[in-house]
Amino acid sequence: MKTDDLIFLLAADTAPVASHAASRQIAIAMALGIPLAILTMLLTMGTRPDLVHAIRFPMFWIKVLFPAAVACAGFATLARLARPGVSARIGKWASALPVLLLWLLAVAAYVSAAPSERAGMVWGQSWQTCTLSVLMTSVPIFVAAFIALRQLEPTQLAPTGAYAGMLSGATGAAIYAFHCPEMALPFLAIWYVAGIAAAAVIGATLGPRLLRW
């Protein structure tokens, strides 16, 4: 086919397209993935039995809001990565910020605690299952985000996959916080971050394979 023929043909298809497609597609994916992730959490683990009591403590809200902040930064970065020719550098810094802040707070809490309490702050009661549970909760969001990205045009496939993984891991962590009984900052700083990072690594591995266009 000659290129001029192709141009003639393309010009016949002038269906107007909506603007802000990238943010909208990813937002739709989140709107579908989050309820499914909540359902996964409720069906496999359930909320913590003392939830009504726990929501009075600020630590509970840190556990929800820290991953939520990472997720927001991940969303903004992903919406930029999904569009060709747009720099996503600001977003990359923005998503590191909440993690650095949490690590600072965690180190402060660890140092100021009595030596006998320190081990409990790091290992808690659930360190073996925490990272895996975060990953499991994030699966529906991960799948939805990748389906949305396939409609878009990411040109850096591995970073896009990583940020999609980070977004779903962080959202999964925020949802998992409603089950998780731990109340120590160092625990959060290690095992939640490990869950989010693992999701990002999985995303970076799958990105080049699943997001090609």
Partner 1 sequence: MGGEQAAYRDFLQKLSAHLRAFLRRRLFGWPDEVEDLVQECLLAMHNKRHTYQSDQPLTAWVHAIARYKLIDLLRSKSTREALHDPLDDDLAVFAESSTDASDARRDLTGLLETLPERQRLPIEQVRLNGLSVMEAAALLGMSESAVKVGIHRGLKALGKRVGTLS
Judged by the rule CB under 8 A, the positions of this chain that interact with partner 1 are 1, 3-22, 82-86, 152-153, 155, 212-213
Which is nearer to partner 1, 57 or 213 (by Cβ)? 213
> Nearest approach, Cβ of 159 to partner 1 (angstroms)?
13
9: tokens are 């043909």
> Nearest approach, Cβ of 73 to partner 1 (angstroms)?
20
Which is nearer to partner 1, 5 or 50 (by Cβ)? 5
46: tokens are 């359930």
> Nearest approach, Cβ of 152 to partner 1 (angstroms)?
6
Which is nearer to partner 1, 7 or 132 (by Cβ)? 7
CA atoms within 13 A on the CB side of 147: 12
203: tokens are 């995303």
Q: In this structure, is the dihedral angle defined by the CA atoms of residues 105, 107, 108 and 113, taken in order, positive or negative?
A: positive
> Nearest approach, Cβ of 165 to partner 1 (angstroms)?
21
Q: What is the CA 65 to chain-centroid distance, rounded?
A: 12
CA-CA distance, 81 to 94, in Å (whole number)? 14
> Nearest approach, Cβ of 18 to partner 1 (angstroms)?
6
Q: What is the CA 127 to chain-centroid distance, rounded?
A: 20
Which is nearer to partner 1, 21 or 183 (by Cβ)? 21
Which is nearer to partner 1, 56 or 212 (by Cβ)? 212
Residue whose token pair is 């359902």? 39
